[in-house]
């Protein structure tokens, strides 16, 4: 199995490299010029030429790309083209900021999506099922940034006014002076909620159809014939079978999650990976952008590998094989 | 996405729908799954009468169609319906009207520059619809040309075109969109000028350039399976030209998936434009867009003026919801087997 995992990981690397080349060329060709930005409003051509030389931007693109990649592989990712800050630190700090947001959102979304999906699938066509269908459509059509602003308005300003609180309970921006679990909760509750809405909408529909398909299987009829309670039939036999496909979808969505993170961090002013990406794009800062892409790419690849392994663990019929089927 | 509450919808019905799942997800994860799911499809497009009947069976799809029709009419007649100029010259008279809450005179209130929000929402709706439909049309044209060439010719042409498609799928769309949309003066590697994405034509081209790939894969998949059919064989034996076979036998039988893709593409494009506007890279003055209105009013969140983000967002949300409902209804009506 580990051979299979390794092979899958290696197969993703060329795609990642190709994407990084394309982005590098695009940002350099179409994006902002860091040298011009550093020289400020003066636009002094002498300054621009000098800074370009200092930053090494006067070399050809292939040379610059190879240099960046060499940096990345050695683990010393150099400094930002915009601010001279260490890229390792920038990305490390941003990851620490994004990790709890992504983790809690995925966990919460999984819990709710499984609950909604299973409830709907057990009684297809019921009022509850129809309600969840409508809600899922609403969640899918909901523009995340607008939802974020609405949530801030409702849970900070309106809530404070209505309940006559001295300060809002939930924070719409990170609170740098606070610490502890309660502070984290007040900080994370709203962004996690906003990021989860679309995940829940997509995953719950998926869980629903996967379980409905599963419940048509012979093993379900056998389980019922054995006289198991319906609850046991659904969770032990039905859900377990449908979970394999949910795992796959969640892993595929790991890439899509990034888009949501970018918007959510922007709305809630959180200095995470999304904010870092927006800043790097604004500044044409390829020294940050390339390591950013590679780190995120590796995380996405790992998520997919984890899903493969989990898939095999959940479904003994699946064997992860290398080469020809045996 | 869903069947409307009936049992046994096939697993993962629509990649496109899933991409709608996040406007932003669509930006980053150009959806590969679409092809797999949308690709199994009807042999024959059913006759219109039964098609309408099947569509009408889904109350949500009917509601979606009615709402969409109303929104389209509102957008078409925006110049007549709008009580004021959406981008007036900022005279003292206009400015004194600034920051008024909803009233009879200004049903959606006025912004910090005294501009009537209802008028701006109507014109923003217009821009959203033009962008959505424009992107869908361009994506379909590009996707059908590339997909049918690949699927019909096969061989090296197929490999070449599909690698080309994969290349576009690999690029993280959000990155490209922000880089290019931020550029006030875009050109194609200095060779020729491109229309700026701050105006509608440039925005449509940009979003379509990153949205045609699922269509190409769907059409290719359809063609690959259709071209082996007996009736194609018969047409060929009867001496029909390639062109005749493609246009009279293959393309008409691919209408269903194309229509469904086009509808969902409208919703995705509308959301993507709004997200770009919010990130400061969308349509700019004098164009009005719903995302731009929300972005302009972002600072009012946390004050009593937050109605300024409410209405444009609400119209955006209802528009995308209606488009998605129609898309889902069309899918079920075109392909009754899809609900299993």
pLDDT of B186 reads 67
- Tell me the residues of chain B between 279 and 308 that have a Cβ less than 8 Å away from chain A: 279, 291, 294, 298, 301-303, 306
- pLDDT above 70 (res A216): yes
Q: Does B172 touch chain A (CB under 8 A)?
A: yes
pLDDT of A318 reads 65
Listed residue (B125, B320, B171, B147) closest to B221, CA to CA:
B147
Listed residue (A3, A4, A8) closest to A302, CA to CA:
A8
What's the gap in Å between the CA of A148 and the closest CA on chain B?
Answer: 10
pLDDT of B16 reads 38
Query: In terms of pLDDT, which residue wins out, A266 or B25?
Result: A266
- pLDDT above 90 (res A43): no
What does pLDDT average to over chain B? 79
What's the gap in Å between the CA of B21 and the closest CA on chain A?
Answer: 4
Task: Mutation target for A interface from B3, B13, B25: give the one with most A CBs within 10 A.
Answer: B25
CA distances to A72, A283, A297 from A78, rounded to whole Å, are 8, 16, 19
DSSP conformation class of B247: I
Express each pLDDT in A262-306 by its tens digit.
999 999 999 999 999 999 988 888 899 999 999 998 888 888 888
- pLDDT above 60 (res A326): no
Q: Are the beta carbons of B27 and B275 closer than 8 angstroms? A: yes
Tokens of B21: 């799942």
CA angle A266, A270, A276 (to 5 degrees): 70
Contact list, B274 vs chain A (CB under 8 Å): 143, 145-146
Chain B residue with minimum CA distance to A245: B11
pLDDT of A30 reads 79
Contact between B2 and A133 using a beta-carbon 8 Å cutoff: yes
What is the distance between the alpha carbons of residues B112 and B119, in angstroms, rounded to a whole number?
Answer: 15
Arithmetic mean of pLDDT, A211-221: 88
pLDDT of B40 reads 41
Arithmetic mean of pLDDT, B137-145: 96
Contact list, B176 vs chain A (CB under 8 Å): 23, 26
Residues of chain B with pLDDT > 90, as a percent, come to 30
Please report which confidence band the pLDDT of residue B21 belongs to, taking 50, 70 and 90 as the band edges. Answer: very low
Contact between A144 and B24 using a beta-carbon 8 Å cutoff: yes
Per DSSP, the three-state class of B288 is: coil
Please report which confidence band the pLDDT of residue B39 belongs to, taking 50, 70 and 90 as the band edges. Answer: very low
What's the gap in Å between the CA of A213 and the closest CA on chain B?
Answer: 6
Contact list, B1 vs chain A (CB under 8 Å): 136-137, 140, 205
Candidate from A32, A142, A209 with C-beta closest to B11: A209
Per DSSP, the three-state class of A123 is: coil
ipTM: 0.88
Query: In terms of pLDDT, which residue wins out, B160 or B109?
Result: B160
């Amino acid at each position: 199995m580990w051979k299979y995992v390794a092979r899958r990981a290696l197969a993703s690397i060329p795609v990642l490299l190709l994407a990084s080349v394309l982005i590098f060329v695009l940002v350099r060709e179409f994006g902002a010029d860091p040298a011009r930005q550093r020289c400020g409003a003066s636009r002094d051509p002498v300054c621009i030429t000098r800074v370009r030389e200092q930053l090494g931007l006067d070399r050809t693109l292939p040379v610059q790309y190879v240099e960046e990649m060499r940096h990345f592989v050695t683990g010393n990712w150099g400094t930002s083209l915009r601010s001279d800050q260490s890229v390792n630190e920038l990305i490390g700090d941003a990851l620490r900021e994004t990790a709890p947001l992504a983790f809690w959102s995925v966990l919460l979304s999984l819990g709710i999506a499984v609950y909604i999906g299973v409830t709907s699938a057990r009684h297809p066509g019921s009022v509850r099922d129809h309600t969840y269908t409508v809600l899922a459509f609403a969640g899918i059509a909901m523009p995340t940034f607008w939802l974020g602003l609405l949530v801030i308005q409702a849970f900070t300003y309106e809530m404070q006014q209505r309940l006559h609180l001295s300060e809002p309970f939930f924070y719409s921006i990170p609170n740098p002076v606070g610490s502890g679990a309660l502070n984290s909760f007040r900080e994370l509750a709203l962004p996690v909620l906003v990021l989860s809405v679309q995940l829940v909408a997509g995953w719950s529909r998926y869980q629903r159809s996967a379980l409905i398909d599963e419940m048509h299987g012979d093993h379900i009829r056998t389980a019922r014939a054995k006289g198991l309670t319906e609850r046991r039939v659904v969770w032990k036999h039905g859900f377990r079978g449908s979970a394999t496909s949910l795992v796959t979808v969640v892993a595929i969505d790991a890439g899509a999650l990034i888009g949501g993170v970018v918007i959510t961090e922007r709305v809630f002013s959180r200095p995470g990976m999304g904010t870092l990406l927006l800043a790097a794009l604004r500044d044409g800062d390829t020294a940050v952008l390339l390591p950013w892409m590679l780190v995120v790419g590796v995380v996405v690849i790992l998520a997919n590998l984890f899903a493969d392994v989990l898939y095999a663990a959940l479904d003994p019929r699946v064997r992860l094989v290398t080469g020809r089927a045996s | 996405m869903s069947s409307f509450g009936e049992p046994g919808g096939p697993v993962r019905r629509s990649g496109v729908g899933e991409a709608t799942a996040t406007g932003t997800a669509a930006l980053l994860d150009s959806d590969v799954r679409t092809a797999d799911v949308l690709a199994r499809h009807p042999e024959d497009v059913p006759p219109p009468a039964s098609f309408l009947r099947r569509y009408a069976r889904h109350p949500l799809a009917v509601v979606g169609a009615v709402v969409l029709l109303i929104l389209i009419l509102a957008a078409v007649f925006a110049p007549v319906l709008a009580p004021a100029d959406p981008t007036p010259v900022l005279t003292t008279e206009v400015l004194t009207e600034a920051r008024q809450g909803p009233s009879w005179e200004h049903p959606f209130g006025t912004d910090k520059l005294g501009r009537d929000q209802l008028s701006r929402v109507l014109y923003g709706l217009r821009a959203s619809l033009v962008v959505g439909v424009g992107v869908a049309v361009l994506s379909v044209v590009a996707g059908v040309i590339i997909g049918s060439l690949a699927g019909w010719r096969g061989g090296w042409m197929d490999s070449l075109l599909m690698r080309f498609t994969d290349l576009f799928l690999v690029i993280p769309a959000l990155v490209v969109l922000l880089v290019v949309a931020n550029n006030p003066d875009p050109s194609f590697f200095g060779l020729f000028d491109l229309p700026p994405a701050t105006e509608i034509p440039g925005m449509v081209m940009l979003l379509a350039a990153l949205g045609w790939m699922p269509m190409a894969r769907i059409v290719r998949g359809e063609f690959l399976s259709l071209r082996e059919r007996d009736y194609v064989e018969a047409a060929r034996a009867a001496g029909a030209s390639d062109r005749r076979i493609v246009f009279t036998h293959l393309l008409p039988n691919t209408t269903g998936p194309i229509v469904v893709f086009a509808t969902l593409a409208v919703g995705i494009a509308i959301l993507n434009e709004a997200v770009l506007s919010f990130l400061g890279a969308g349509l700019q003055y004098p164009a009005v867009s719903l995302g731009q209105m929300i972005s302009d009013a972002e600072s009012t969140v946390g004050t009593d003026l937050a109605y300024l983000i409410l209405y444009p967002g609400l119209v955006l949300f209802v528009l995308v919801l209606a488009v998605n409902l129609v898309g889902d209804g069309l899918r079920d009506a075109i392909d009754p087997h899809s609900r299993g």
